[in-house]
Amino acid sequence: MSIKNYLSIFTLVLFLASCKEKKTEEFNKNISSDLEVDHFNIWVKNPQKAKQKLIDIGFTAIPDSLSAVHHGQGTSGRYFYFLNTYLEFIFVYNQKEFEVNNSKNKDLDFSERANFNKNGASPFSIALKVKEYKVDKIPFRKIQYHQSWMENDRSIYAAKNSKTHLKEPSIFVVYPKMQYDVFETLRDLKKIPEEYALWREFYKHKNGAKKVTRIVITSKDVDLSTETMKTVHGIENIIIKNGSSYVMELFFDNATQQKTFDLRPELPLLIHL
């Protein structure tokens, strides 16, 4: 084969590789332009113990008396608010109600996730929001889910994959009025109406944490090529990867304090301040 032919083939290979890379970049760009993290959950068996672990390292918790009960779903949460997102420790609050809801919504993964300690499922959930919200902009197969505490004509959309791929984090999309209010700085908390002024204090943490700037979730033997995982990989500041055990790493304010708290084994959580 002549040198000219070798050069032609080499040029063609480089061109095809460049096209493939460009397509991947465009795919990720398209996803990240429409989707963002709204909040994230960790399923727990002992919510009080989980909550105390964070309080002990300087976080402020939402009081139990103000924490949401998901009526009709049989679950409740313990919450930590930050300027740009929140963490929920979700748990079964009413076993009977929980079982009734699962029998009505058999395509959802509540039961499997709640029993993560028995079946090896990931205990993590990621709630996404869509810019300029439209249901048809959700880029994966989905299941509509509605409860009485939602608006009459609105629903959450859960990834169908989350029921069958339990080593993935559970993925769902919230509608606009359910989305978390984001604040740029602590000074912006004054935008919270005076009648709810008490809530301003829950964003202020003794350890100085303000914003979650990166989330890294490690799963065991997770298939990173599924449509939901590809979707998540296209979202800014969140990474899913394989490892030997389930763990969520939360980076606050780009970890400028250079402090790390490992809350295992009680919680599969690493905090970077």
Mean pLDDT, rounded, for 97-122? 97
Q: Give the mean pLDDT of 35-42.
A: 97
Mean pLDDT of 112-130: 97
Where does the pLDDT of residue 23 fall: very low under 50, low under 70, confident under 90, or very high at 90 and above?
very low
Is residue 94 in a domain?
yes
Report the C-alpha gap between 152 and 21 in whole angstroms: 44
Question: If pLDDT is split at 50, 70 and 90, which confidence band does 150 have?
Answer: very high
User: What are the tens digits of pLDDT across the range 198-213?
Assistant: 999 999 999 999 999 9
* Nearest-angstrom CA–CA distance, 178 and 38: 9
Is there a domain that residue 146 lies in? yes
Q: Which domain does 168 fall in, by range?
A: 32-203
Whole-Å CA distances, 58 to 41, 53, 224 = 19, 9, 34
**Residue at 217 is within a domain:** no
Q: How many C-beta neighbours within 10 Å does residue 220 have?
A: 13
Report pLDDT for 36. Answer: 95
Q: Is residue 243 pLDDT above 60, yes or no? A: yes
Q: How far is CA 70 from CA 97, 111, 199, 226, in A?
A: 10, 15, 20, 30
CATH code of residue 82:
3.10.180.10
pLDDT digits (tens, 9 = 90+) for 42-76: 999 999 999 999 999 999 999 999 999 999 999 99
Distance CA 102, CA 221 (A): 26
Has residue 252 been placed in a domain? no
Check pLDDT > 70 for residue 5. Answer: no
In a domain, 9, yes or no: no
Structural domains counted in the chain: 1
In a domain, 15, yes or no: no
Residue 14: what pLDDT?
A: 39
Residue 240 is assigned to a structural domain of this protein = no
Residue at 123 is within a domain: yes
Residue 265 preceded by cis peptide, ω within 30:
yes
